[in-house]
A = this chain, B = another copy of it.
Amino acid sequence: MTYLNHYNEEDKVLVAVDCIIFGFDEEGLKILFVKRGFEPEKGKWSLMGGFLKREENLAEAATRVLFSLTGLQDIYMEQLYSYSEIDRDPVTRTISVSYFALINKNKYDLKLNIKNEAQWFKFSEAPLPIFDHQQMIEKALIRLRRKALSTPLGFELLPEKFTMRQLKRLYESILNQKLDKRNFINKFNSLDILVKLEEKDKTSSKKGAFLYKFDEKKYQLKKEEGFNFKL
């Protein structure tokens, strides 16, 4: 073969995918880990990861890996970044491509398969995962923060009906800072993507708090347009 110098068998490496799954509930931002089922680092907390197979592309691999480890299906994941430090996996050279998704915990928790010991962790209290997974998570968090400040966010993470308090908590836990209530409500209202419902949530006070939902059309439009949300 004339191109032997270029296509070199010895340069071949394994390619893996690792999935960063964010969720949200009353405790704040959550991240999904799984107990690694094989050596090295067996039994340690890890992102949902696995190797790319011959018959699939990276997105298909990410979907298969997530399903096989957690039972979660129909999750749209976004490719984030490829990691390639020479010794990032001690067994053999492995390039890993990270994928991330925001999922609605309320909707998917019932489907979460616990046989592989998948577990949600409060983001601020999550254990240190294996290899360079912490680095992957940090990059995903930067992306998530940029999204929160430049496109509406919440549709994928909140229950269908939610209070302003929940929405504010979501932003606070993503941005990791306290937000001024009135300022937040004003800014968010100015986006004109919320629908105030007649209904109230009375679980946290007798008076109750009005419930809201997103106007899906306006939400999607705003998502395409983008904005620069200074909170």
Contact = CB atoms under 8 A, between A and B. Distances in A.
Interface stretch (A46-54, A68-76, A114-122, A211-219): A46-54
A14 B7 contact: yes
Contacts of A85: 57
A148 B132 CA distance: 32
Contacts of A39: 2-3
A12 interface: yes
A217 B19 CA distance: 38
Contacts of A11: 14-15, 51-54
A52 B13 contact: yes
Nearest to A4: B38
Given A7-B91, A95-B15, A95-B95, A52 B84 contact: yes
Nearest to A226: B228
A143 to B, nearest CB: 13
A113 interface: no
Nearest to A55: B86
A31 interface: no
Interface residues of A, number: 41
A93 interface: yes
Contacts of A2: 38-39
Nearest to A88: B57
A10 interface: yes
B6 A51 contact: yes
Contacts of A82: 58, 79, 82, 97
Interface in A209-231: 226-228
Interface of A: 2-3, 5-8, 10-15, 38-40, 50-59, 79, 81-82, 84-86, 91-93, 95, 97, 149-150, 226-228
Would you list the 3 A-B pairs with minimal beta carbon distance, nearest first? Answer: A12-B12, A228-B228, A58-B84
